[in-house]
Amino acid sequence: MKQISLLFASFWMIASAVSQTTQEISIIPQPVSLEKKNTRFVLNAQTKIAADSKNADVQRIAGFFTGQVKKATGFALGQAAPAAKTNVISFSLNRTPDKSIGKEGYTLDVTATGVQIAANDAAGLFYGVQTLLQLLPKEIVSESVVKKASWTIPGVQITDYPRFAWRGLMFDVARHFFTKEQVKQFIDDMVRYKYNLLHLHLTDDQGWRIEIKSLPKLTEVGAWRVDKTGTFGTFTPPAENEPRTYGGFYTHNDIKELVQYAADRYVNILPEVDVPGHSMAMVAAYPELSCTPGTYRVNSGEKFMQWTDTGFYALIDNTLCPANDKVYEALDKVFTEVAQLFPFQYIHMGGDECAKNFWEKSDAIKQLMQRENLKDLHEVQSYFVKKVEKIIESKGKKMIGWDEILEGGLAPNAAVMSWRGSKGGAEAARLQHEVVMSPNNHTYIDLMQGDPAIEPPVYKSVRLKSSYQFEPVPAGVDPKFIKGGQANLWTEQIYNMRHLQYMVWPRAFAVAESVWSPAEKKNWNDFIRRVEDHFERFDVAEIKYAPSMYEPIFDVSKDGELLKLTMSTEVEGLDIYYSFDNSFPDRFYPRYTKPVQIPRDAVNVRVITYKGKEPAGRMITIPVAELRKRADKKK
Cα separations (Å) of 548 from 138, 449, 503, 580, 606?
22, 6, 10, 22, 16
Phi and psi dihedrals of 491, rounded to 5? -120, 25
Strands 562-568 and 596-598: antiparallel
Q: Which of 278, 433, 442, 534 is catalytic?
A: 278
Q: Which of 204, 205, 254, 427 is catalytic?
A: 204
Cβ(21)–Cβ(148) below 8 Å: no
Q: Which of 23, 46, 39 is nearest to 137 (CA)?
A: 23
Measured at the alpha carbon of residue 150, what is the angle toward residues 146 and 152, in degrees to the nearest 5?
110
Neighbours of 41 (CB within 10 A): 26
Cβ(556)–Cβ(605) below 8 Å: no
State the DSSP string of 412-463. TT-EEEE-SSSHHHHHHHHTT--EEE--HHHHBTTSBSS-TTTSPP-SSB--
Catalytic-residue membership of 252:
no
Phi and psi dihedrals of 392, rounded to 5? -65, -40
Cβ(291)–Cβ(377) below 8 Å: no
DSSP state of 406: G
What CA–CA distance (Å, rounded) separates 89 from 106? 15
Cβ(292)–Cβ(276) below 8 Å: no
Q: Which of 197, 284, 233, 314 is nearest to 491 (CA)?
A: 233
Catalytic-residue membership of 353:
yes
State yes or no: cis peptide before 595, omega within 30 of 0.
no
Using N-to-C axis directions, what is the helix angle for 252-263 and 325-341, rounded to 10°? Answer: 50
| CA 181 from centroid of its chain's CA atoms | 18
Catalytic-residue membership of 555:
no
Neighbours of 432 (CB within 10 A): 9
Where do runs of H (alpha helix) occur along 174-290? Answer: 180-191, 217-220, 252-263, 280-285
Q: Which of 264, 332, 353, 379 is catalytic?
A: 353
Q: Which of 441, 420, 470, 487 is nearest to 170 (CA)?
A: 487
3-class DSSP state for residue 358? helix
Residue 418 has, within 13 A of its CA and on its CB side, a CA count of 27
Neighbours of 361 (CB within 10 A): 11
Write down how long the chain is: 635
Phi and psi dihedrals of 216, rounded to 5? -65, -25
Q: Which of 484, 440, 435, 477 is nearest to 460 (CA)?
A: 440
What CA–CA distance (Å, rounded) separates 208 from 20? 52
What CA–CA distance (Å, rounded) separates 406 from 402? 8
Cβ(169)–Cβ(487) below 8 Å: yes
Positive or negative, the CA dihedral 116, 118, 122, 128 is negative
Positive or negative, the CA dihedral 628, 632, 634, 635 is positive
What CA–CA distance (Å, rounded) separates 351 from 567? 40
What CA–CA distance (Å, rounded) separates 604 from 580? 6
Catalytic residues: 204, 278, 353
